[in-house]
Amino acid sequence: MRAVRNASLVAALSATALLVAACGSSGSGGNATGGSSSKPSASSSSGSSMPALSATSFTNDFSAMAQLKSVAAKGKGKIAVILPDTTTSARYTEFDAPYLKEAFAKAGVSSSNVIIQNAQGSDSTQLTDAQSDITNGAAVLIVDPLDAGVGAQIEKYAAAHGAASIDYDRLTLGGTRDYYVSFNNVEVGKLIGNGMVSCVQQWGVKNPNMIVMKGDPTDNNATLFAQGYMSVLNPKFSSGWTKAAEPAGTWDPPTAKTEFQQAFTAHKGVNSVLVPNDENAAPIISYLQTLNVKPQTFPVTGQDATLVGLQNILAGYQCGTAYKPIYLEAQAAAALAIYLNAGETPPSGLVNGTTQDTKAHKAVKSVLLKPEWVTPKNMESTVVADKFVPAAQLCKGKYASDCTKYGIK
């Protein structure tokens, strides 16, 4: 979970020049420090038979990945993926890891050439994993950094040892990565903000008096989400809505609950809360239920389409959730890594934008994917149809009648 501006991609020849420059001019991969892995030098695919996948090529059956088999066969090393933790979101274990594994397999990459790890919330583990992976032959690293500090360390180490690096899901501010793959996170924030506006109207909340929660302030994604939802909410606060409080922010659910309780106690009359993800929303909703808050009376937002979030939406305690189909992100990252590992310039249809690294003051070539806002009305056609959450699991027990009500089966 975690300012994005779509921009036209530089020409393929320019991208090639940038990558070659990054690798050095020796023609041997630019491994000036004598590291154990050699960063693949990019070559232009113009006029070749290389498949030109785009950011919209991917589907939930992973069929597009088969087009990359000829590219994968040219791979020069291993590809390593290092995910951040298992606490801020269950997605990394339940979805990212298996989706990435499937994406590489469908592209014909041998399992012996793919490393997928989780740092379990430890900066030192994430750095050590990256160093070990490069020692063991990784030519491309896909990293969802725990924070910008360790992300920058990893990318500096990778560059010094001739390995390419890709920021996955969140951008390393001040980093030196080659590419970035994520959803358009300002748009994610706008979905959350607009979802709150719609919910306030639909639930008939008079004179909205809102606590605005944030994610961890050290996470660039949290900054981008906030940029998006505040662009929607600030005009509302200027024209009658009340912003009661804006706590510091966290991705730790118990801390989020404490932040909310403190603000809720200090500001009487609060009747809504913007929350930037489902995991933080869940304990807040549980707390509101202990106060006998009724369904569809106190708007709460979320993100990530987790099981608990979706069930809270069905029960009328959460307005909706920003759904980011992770199978899109996993395939896009795998495809990008496969091109880089083969020494090929990724096609412009895949690298469809740039993201500003506000610390390094540079535009980072990016794959930016499209999120969706999920409510009870489109839950069947989105998360259930995508097999993101099985209906049998979603509709268990007390949620069965809600599923029937909304045609989810």
**What average pLDDT score do residues 338-355 get?**
96
Q: Looking at residue 254, which CATH number applies to its domain?
A: 3.40.50.2300
Residues 247 and 172 in one domain: no
Residue numbers of the domain that contains 160:
4-183+325-369
The model's pTM: 0.79
Q: Are residues 161 and 229 in the same domain?
A: no
Q: Are residues 52 and 177 in the same domain?
A: yes
Please tell me whether residues 37 and 92 are part of one structural domain: yes
CA dist 229 → 191, 196, 225 (Å): 7, 9, 6
Q: What pLDDT, in 10s, does the model give residues 183-217?
A: 999 999 999 999 999 999 999 999 999 999 999 99
Q: Could you report the per-residue pLDDT of 247-256, keeping only the tens digit for each?
A: 999 999 999 9
Question: 123-172 pLDDT, tens per residue?
Answer: 999 999 999 999 999 999 999 999 999 999 999 999 999 999 999 999 99
Q: Are residues 219 and 203 in the same domain?
A: yes
* Cβ contacts of 147-155, under 8 Å, gap ≥ 24: 147/123, 147/218, 147/219, 148/172, 148/173, 148/174, 148/175, 148/218, 148/220, 148/359, 149/123, 150/123, 150/126, 151/175, 151/177, 152/176, 153/127, 154/82, 154/126, 154/127, 154/130
Number of domains in the chain: 2
- The tokens 């501006």 sit on which residue? 5
73: tokens are 């066969």
Identify whether residues 155 and 169 lie together within a single domain: yes
